[in-house]
């Protein structure tokens, strides 16, 4: 049975990104062009995975971006602070917001409890959409993307990019609708593939391991047995696995059977898959996006081309994995 509460929150992922785009366009979300660092406070392990996955989807920046469970002691007036998490972490968020405001940080709250916590602490609050029960991975990544992209482009360009990414996520959610059959529903097909089986999620490209770690965390949150590996680590593990065919002294009647890897493998590709070297019997998850077409139409200049190269497909695949986890949970 699908988790209807999760599905309701999932259905708003595109709207969550669009809400951040509106906050950027209206000046509600302040974008600093020259901070000393960007600090993300995420008391929950899952949302630390969300933040690290978001960083893997964004271009390199000229300032440090760090993620901590608590506000670090060095945070000061030259830093940008983002606080995220679910409502059960309100006390930690309140303490972090109060301290950050007292130190003069540019601070933003993006959790479901942001409205009243922001009023009491004096920081900028971006409350969740009405009737949404929990915080949103897409919302957290969208705020992080706004702060990172805002370092080198105008707010209007950042908002336009987020609107385009929101359209992509809505397209993915429509394809993953629970009433669509597995033949035309990538989330349902993935859920059937991983159902009741330990799964190893492999990053197709080096540097995106944190993205697959979030995918594994989504399924584990629903009660699965999932782990994540980089492509290099997976190949090393596969090479080290014992094989009876290579051991000329193996006797199936006298020797214990070798320990074999019984997990299924899912490879997550954020880019083209034509030249992707796939492990044997692995499933590949990828998606076609229009981000290249929309980015070319934006008034950002050549220096910003490819700024959303991985952002749109990454958020689409996160939505797909979340939908699949709802079906398996």
Instruction: Indicate whether 298 belongs to any domain.
Output: no
Going by C-alpha positions, the residue among 169, 213, 190, 162 that lies closest to residue 56 is 213
Phi and psi angles of residue 143, each rounded to the nearest 5 degrees, phi first: -65, -45
Going by C-alpha positions, the residue among 122, 131, 135 that lies closest to residue 40 is 135
Instruction: Indicate whether 207 belongs to any domain.
Output: no
- Over the stretch 63-96, which tens digit does the pLDDT of each residue have? 999 999 999 999 999 999 999 888 788 888 888 9
pLDDT of residue 289: 73
Going by C-alpha positions, the residue among 148, 180, 165 that lies closest to residue 60 is 148
Q: Which residues pair with 83 in a beta bridge?
A: 41, 109
Structural domain boundaries enclosing 18: 4-170
Going by C-alpha positions, the residue among 326, 5, 312 that lies closest to residue 188 is 326
Instruction: Indicate whether 41 belongs to any domain.
Output: yes
Q: 190: helix, coil or strand?
A: helix
Instruction: Indicate whether 264 belongs to any domain.
Output: no
Q: Exposed/middle/buried for 83, CB within 10 Å: 0-12, 13-18, 19+? A: buried
Cα distance between residue 79 and residue 38, in whole Å: 6
Q: Give 239's DSSP letter.
A: H
pLDDT of residue 263: 80
The CA radius of gyration of the chain, in Å to the nearest whole number, is 21
List, in order, residues 6 or more apart from 236 with CB less than 8 Å away.
Answer: none
pLDDT of residue 297: 42
Instruction: Indicate whether 51 belongs to any domain.
Output: yes
- Start-end of H helices in the chain: 4-10, 13-25, 45-57, 90-102, 114-121, 137-149, 155-175, 186-194, 209-221, 231-240, 291-296, 311-328
| Domain CATH number, residue 132 | 3.40.50.10490
Instruction: Indicate whether 321 belongs to any domain.
Output: no
In the chain, the number of structural domains is: 1
Instruction: Indicate whether 290 belongs to any domain.
Output: no
pTM of the predicted structure, to 2 decimals: 0.87
Instruction: Indicate whether 21 belongs to any domain.
Output: yes
On the CB side of 326, CA atoms within 13 Å amount to: 22
Residues of the chain predicted below pLDDT 50:
1, 240, 244, 292-305
Going by C-alpha positions, the residue among 196, 267, 270 that lies closest to residue 235 is 267
pLDDT of residue 235: 60
Torsion of CA 139, 158, 33, 141, to 10 degrees: 20
């Amino acid at each position: 049975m699908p988790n209807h509460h999760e599905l309701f929150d999932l259905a708003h992922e595109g709207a969550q990104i669009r809400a951040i785009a509106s906050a950027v366009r209206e000046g509600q979300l302040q974008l600093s062009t020259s901070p000393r660092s960007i600090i993300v406070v995420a008391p929950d392990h899952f949302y630390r995975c969300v933040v690290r996955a978001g960083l893997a989807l964004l271009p390199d920046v000229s300032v440090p971006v760090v993620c901590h469970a608590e506000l670090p002691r060095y945070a000061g007036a030259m830093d940008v602070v983002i606080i995220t998490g679910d409502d059960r972490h309100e006390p930690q968020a309140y303490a972090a917001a109060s301290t950050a405001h007292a130190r003069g940080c540019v601070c933003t709250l993006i959790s479901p409890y942001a409205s009243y916590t922001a009023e009491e602490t004096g920081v900028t609050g971006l409350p969740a959409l009405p009737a949404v029960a929990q915080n949103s991975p897409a919302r957290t990544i969208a705020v992080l993307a706004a702060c990172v992209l805002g370092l080198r482009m105008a707010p209007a360009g950042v908002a336009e990019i987020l609107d385009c990414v929101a359209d992509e996520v809505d397209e993915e959610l429509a394809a993953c609708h629970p009433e669509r059959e597995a033949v035309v529903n990538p989330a349902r097909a993935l859920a059937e593939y991983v159902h009741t089986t330990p799964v190893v999620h492999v990053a197709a490209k080096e540097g995106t391991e944190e993205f697959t770690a979030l995918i594994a965390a989504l399924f584990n949150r629903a009660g699965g047995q999932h782990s994540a590996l980089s492509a290099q680590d997976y190949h090393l593990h596969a090479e080290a696995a014992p094989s009876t065919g290579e051991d000329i002294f193996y006797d199936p009647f006298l020797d214990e059977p070798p320990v074999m890897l019984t997990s299924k493998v899912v490879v997550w590709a954020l880019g083209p898959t034509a030249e992707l070297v796939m492990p044997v019997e692995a499933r590949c998850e990828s998606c076609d996006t229009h981000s290249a077409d929309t980015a070319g139409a934006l008034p950002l200049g050549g220096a910003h081309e490819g700024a959303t190269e991985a952002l749109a497909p990454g958020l689409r695949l996160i939505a797909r994995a979340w939908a699949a986890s709802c079906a398996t949970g």
